[in-house]
Structure formats: structure tokens, C-alpha cells
Homo-oligomer: A and B are copies of this chain.
Amino acid sequence: MKRTTIVDVGRLAGVSAKTVSRVLNDEPHVSAAVKQRVRAAADALDYHPNVFAQALVRRKSHMIGLVYENPSPSYVVELQKGVLERLINERYRLVVIPIRSVQENAAEVVGLLRSAALDGVVLAPPASDHPLILNQLKEARIRCARIAPTRMIEAAPSNLVDDVAAAREIAAYVIGLGHREIAIIRGDPTHPSTEARMLGYMQAFHQAGLDLRFDRIEPGMFTFDSGLAAGRNILARADRPTAILAQNDDMAVGAMMAAREIGLSIPERLSIVGFDDSEVSRITWPRLTTVRQPVFEMAVAATEMVIAQLEDREPLARVLHHHTLLIRESAAPPHA
């Protein structure tokens, strides 16, 4: 019991296989009558083209990969939503490629992508910043677009954000509220934006004439749990700060939980701000003051860049996406 092929359809319609192919691919130079007959025959036989045969000869899989580490779930969700949004009404499909640790497995990533036969990939951080991956991708001729890279911007189409400025702005806002004792929760050290955001914070501190105390910087991993742990450490100290800058929203929410555990009210006794404007920032109470990184829009734009390349249009080389300071209720002037 074989599956029905283009030849079967041709036989039923009384035409050659090639003509069937023409009709099904909307190629020109086919008479309306034949078109009709072929369509009817294909329907009657419940014919579905074999995509492998097509891919083999066309050298195109119509699959796009999304490469990410697994930092915060909310970030990944935004990312996927953005890619899928752009893929609506396209023939392309999304294959998700989560990498355990880009840092450790960089050498194998492209092999993985290659063997997945992807036409193109959207690279999220930190893969979007990895020289080896970028190089191998070029060698393997897999099209790509990058989200929030910080280095080698020319190497491939990039969607940029000014992490430094965004961090500076939110830090300046907190300082402007009157805070002087401020702790920081860093993100995953293998992600480039961690350093960029750190730099932005430092600039704001410097402009305000504040010292950045290294004993007030806690490590984190962009996850809720790491934020919770960092928050507990910060708040356990004798000289408790009046505000916390977290490098993403998940960690900020974790720090909020740490504050709650010891009955510290937010924002009255402790101000906390995040980064990214993930969905989680909108559903906590108080809602989180944060700085919006348009992850969704970047994912849409990056996917467009990939598709453009696949269809031989010139992709935008780079797009600068704008951040926005979102003032909500989790930060207020320090308690007198």
C-alpha cells in the first residue's frame, strides 16, 4: 500500500507528472482546463506532496530554528511568540533548539543546526554573540538573524537594543527617587547583556556621585530562584539597602518574594525594579517598575530578516529597537 504520488495524480488527470507539479506550484503556462482537472484529481486522491522529495531537489526545508538558552521562561515565551507571529501565513515552520549551555557546547551547536536541516535560524542571546557559532553558520551557509548582540554587529543582521542606556535610565530613576543604598542582582555571566546592564548602572551611579559597592552586587542567573536567593542574601545583611536593581524581571520577582518572607513591604520599605517587561512584571503586586526591551518585536524583526534572506531579498543589516522606562508601583522614595 503505497502513498499516492504526483504520478498517480497525473495518471488520473491524464497529464504528465511535470504538469501536475506545475499546477500545484502555481507555475505559469498551464491551461485553465488542465489546472482544473489536476486539482480535482489531487483532491480525489487526497494527494499531499512529499516534502522530503521537494526539499531534496529544491534544497529548502522551510524550517526555521530558534536557538536559545533557557534563562527565564517569560523571555522564551516572548521570543517564540514573536517568531510565530511572523510565520503566520508563511510556509515556514518553527523548530525550537534549546541549548543547555551555549558557553559549554558552542562547538556542537552548528552541527546540531546543520543536521536539523534548517534553512535559517534566529539567534537569541547568548548564542547571538558567539563568534564560533556565527562563523560556522556562515560556513554552513545557514542564514541567520540575531537578537540583542553586543559584538561584531556587522557579522550578521542584528536587532539591537541599547542595554547600557536602558540600565542607566532605570538606575537613574531609582537614584532620582532618593535612594543611595542600592543593591544589584546580576544576570547570567555568560550572557553579554549582563555586563552591558552592569555598565549602565555604573554610569548612573557615577553621574550621581554614588559609589558602587562591590559587596552589594549579588550574582544571579536570570531565574526566579536565583533572584530569590540573591534577595535573601542582600536582605540578610546588617546594612540593608533601600532599593534593588535586578537585571531581569524574573529575578526582581524573586527578590520581591525574599522581601515578603521577612515582612518588608514594597515599595514602602524596599524598592525593586526589574528589566525586560516580561509578562511576569505585569502580574505581580505591586506591578514591577522595569525597562521594556521589545523582545517580541525583535523576534518578529529577526524572523523577517531570516525570511528575507531565504527569499533573496536584502535583509535589513540592523535595526535598533527602543527601550522604554515603565514606571509602575514597585519603586518609591525611600522611607524616611
Say yes or no: A115 contacts B56, CB within 8 Å.
Answer: no
A199 at the interface (CB under 8 A from B): no
Query: Interface code A259-301, partner B: CB below 8 Å = 1, 0 otherwise?
Result: 0100000000000000000011011110000000000000000
Interfacial residues of chain A within 50-86, with CB under 8 A of chain B in the complex: 50-53, 55-56, 61, 63, 73-74, 76-77, 80, 84
Residue of B nearest to A287 (CB): B257
Which stretch of A90-98, A145-153, A204-212 is in the interface? A90-98
Q: List B contacts of A11 (CB < 8 A).
A: none
Residue of B nearest to A58 (CB): B52
Partner among B80, B84, B284 whose Cβ is within 8 Å of the Cβ of A283: B284
User: How many residues of A sit at the interface, in one of the four size bands?
Assistant: 35 or more
Say yes or no: A51 contacts B115, CB within 8 Å.
Answer: yes
Say yes or no: B114 contacts A48, CB within 8 Å.
Answer: yes
Interfacial residues of chain A within 215-258, with CB under 8 A of chain B in the complex: 224, 250, 253-254, 256-257
A319 at the interface (CB under 8 A from B): no
Say yes or no: A283 contacts B61, CB within 8 Å.
Answer: no
A178 at the interface (CB under 8 A from B): no
Instruction: Give the distance in Å from the alpha carbon of A91 to the alpha carbon of B224 in the complex.
Output: 31
Most buried by B among A51, A116, A253: A51
Residue of B nearest to A57 (CB): B52
Q: List B contacts of A254 (CB < 8 A).
A: 283
A176 at the interface (CB under 8 A from B): no
Residue of B nearest to A118 (CB): B93
Say yes or no: A95 contacts B98, CB within 8 Å.
Answer: no
Instruction: Give the distance in Å from the alpha carbon of A185 to the alpha carbon of B244 in the complex.
Output: 36
Nearest Cβ in chain B — how far from A7, in angstroms? 15
Q: List B contacts of A189 (CB < 8 A).
A: none
A316 at the interface (CB under 8 A from B): no
Instruction: Give the distance in Å from the alpha carbon of A199 to the alpha carbon of B152 in the complex.
Output: 58
Nearest Cβ in chain B — how far from A91, in angstroms? 9
A14 at the interface (CB under 8 A from B): no
Q: Provided the pairs A76-B77, A98-B84, A284-B284 are in contact, do residues A51 and B253 lie with their beta carbons within 8 angstroms?
A: no
Q: List B contacts of A95 (CB < 8 A).
A: 63, 93-96
Nearest Cβ in chain B — how far from A86, in angstroms? 13
Query: Interface code A96-135, partner B: CB below 8 Å = 1, 0 otherwise?
Result: 1110000000000001001111000000000000000000
Say yes or no: B73 contacts A279, CB within 8 Å.
Answer: yes
* 5 residue pairs A–B, Cβ–Cβ below 8 Å: A48-B111, A52-B61, A73-B279, A80-B96, A283-B284
Q: Which residues of A contact B (CB under 8 A)?
A: 48-53, 55-56, 61, 63, 73-74, 76-77, 80, 84, 93-98, 111, 114-117, 224, 250, 253-254, 256-257, 260, 279-280, 282-285
Closest 10 CB pairs of A and B: A52-B55, A52-B56, A51-B117, A73-B77, A260-B285, A52-B52, A48-B114, A253-B283, A224-B283, A95-B95
